[in-house]
Amino acid sequence: MCIEEREAREDLRDHAPKPSVRERAAALLLIASGIPPAVAARDRVLRPRHPETVDRWLNRWDAEGIERLPIRDGRGRKPAFSP
């Protein structure tokens, strides 16, 4: 990982407005420092995550960069009623 990528991840970890982005950036920094993704997912993030979840975060970062770390639109529970 180059210095610019590391600085971008550190900036996201420290200053992102959403906690989910800060957690994802922290997990990616741990992986970049040599911790296996499964260990980072299980023991080192805010809440224990499934290792495949952290792998998806890493793959999205590698494929599309910073723009893909936030939770994507359309994810989550849909409203039961919309007027």
Per-residue pLDDT tens, the chain, 83 aa: give them. 688 888 888 888 899 888 888 998 899 889 989 999 999 999 888 889 999 999 998 898 888 877 777 777 777 788 788 77
C-alpha–C-alpha distance, residues 7 and 29, integer Å: 10
Q: What is the pLDDT of residue 5?
A: 81
Q: What is the pLDDT of residue 1?
A: 65
Instruction: Kindly report the pTM of this predicted structure.
Output: 0.77
What sections of 1-83 are H helices per DSSP? 3-15, 19-32, 37-39, 51-64
66, 12 in Cβ contact below 8 A?
Answer: yes
- Measured CA to CA in angstroms, residue 40 lies from 21, 75, 78 at distances of 15, 24, 30
Q: What is the pLDDT of residue 39?
A: 93
Q: What is the pLDDT of residue 51?
A: 93
